[in-house]
Amino acid sequence: MSTGAQAREEGSFLVDWIVRRDSARAEVRISMWVRRIGRVLRSQSGVWREDGSGVEICGCTLTPAHGTGELEDVRWDLVVRAGTMGAAARPGAGQAVTPV
């Protein structure tokens, strides 16, 4: 028998846009954990675009307000909203966590 909490999909997702100017390489790296299985996806290039509006590496774009991209079977479209940083109370057992 499984509980509702066990039946829900669990996951985390981190995207890094990395520029190494000294070696003329740039990389987008996704680290994720879905249903207790970890994966790391990477795309590297010697060509990237960076200016005052953001950075683009391998077709993945990051600006102060938006992050979009696609690597292999993972696609993302993230919106950044200005606000205060802080920790919210941890949800109780069986409660869903909703990203802001």
Q: Report, as an integer, the average pLDDT of 10-29.
A: 92
- Please check whether residue 98 is in contact with residue 91, taking contact to mean a CB–CB distance below 8 angstroms: no
What integer pLDDT is reported at residue 4 of this predicted model?
A: 42
Cα angle value 57/44/38 (rounded, 5°) = 100
pLDDT reading at 28 higher than 50:
yes
Task: Summarize pLDDT for 55-95 with one digit per residue, the tens.
Answer: 999 999 999 899 999 999 999 998 887 776 555 555 555 55
Rg (CA), the chain: 17
97 secondary structure, DSSP code = P
